């Protein structure tokens, strides 16, 4: 396997990590609630754990209020319990099979707490990138040891590998900065 094939295999993994990071950042509450905040919360419905997005339609009513219109009224108890367990500090109002979630306004202290969580998520994402980079570098070194990759190509591959990972790291860093600005309300 050539170093270029290893890099080509890495590209989709880095792209997926970037998309996963984008989804994780959407779940962080800023001044505006997003359906992404609750859609992947799993609720117990008849013994099966299902994400909320499969149990009903989630929509924004206002910047601080979400509506969850469940397909079946029997889901209400399990869904409310799952939302409370998630610890999102949302107040819950039930009207038949509709659940309304309201967020209190963010205080300076809660904004700072969110930024701490944001930075923690950023480090977890960067750790994933480092792991993927290290795995690819090991594959390049193994190819060199096996005689499949020349020494010149080994170092060329390392440079291109670092460049590729840096590019994705910069994109994620930019997304995090944008989210921090959004949380601070600037």
pTM: 0.69
Secondary structure (DSSP) of 63-92: TTEEEEEES-GGGHHHHHHHHHHHT---EE
What pLDDT shows up at residue 31?
64
What pLDDT shows up at residue 185?
73
pLDDT per residue rounded down to tens, the chain (186 residues): 788 888 888 899 989 988 888 877 777 766 677 777 777 788 887 777 878 788 888 888 887 788 888 887 887 888 888 878 776 777 888 888 788 888 877 778 878 878 888 888 899 999 999 999 999 999 989 988 888 888 888 889 899 999 999 999 999 999 889 888 887 775
Q: Which of 38, 58, 31, 22 is nearest to 114 (CA)?
A: 31
What pLDDT shows up at residue 112?
82
Question: What are the chain's domains?
Answer: 3-27+107-184 (1.10.132.20), 35-102 (3.30.1360.40)
């Amino acid at each position: 396997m050539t170093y270029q094939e290893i890099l080509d295999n890495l590209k989709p993994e880095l792209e997926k990590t970037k998309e996963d990071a984008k989804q994780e950042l959407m779940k962080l509450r800023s001044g505006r609630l997003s359906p992404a905040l609750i859609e992947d919360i799993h609720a117990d419905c008849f013994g099966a754990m299902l994400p909320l997005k499969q149990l009903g339609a989630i929509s924004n009513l206002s910047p601080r209020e979400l509506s969850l219109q469940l397909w079946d009224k029997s889901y209400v108890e399990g869904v409310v319990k799952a939302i409370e367990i998630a610890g999102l500090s949302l107040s819950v109002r039930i009207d038949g099979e509709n659940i309304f979630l309201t967020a209190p306004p963010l205080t300076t202290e809660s904004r700072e707490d969110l930024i701490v969580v944001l930075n923690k998520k950023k480090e977890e994402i960067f750790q994933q990138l480092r792991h993927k980079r290290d795995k690819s570098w090991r594959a390049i070194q193994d190819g060199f040891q096996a005689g499949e990759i020349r020494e010149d190509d080994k170092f060329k591959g390392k440079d291109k590998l670092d460049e590729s990972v840096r590019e994705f790291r910069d994109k994620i860093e930019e997304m995090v900065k944008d989210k921090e600005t959004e949380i601070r309300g600037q």
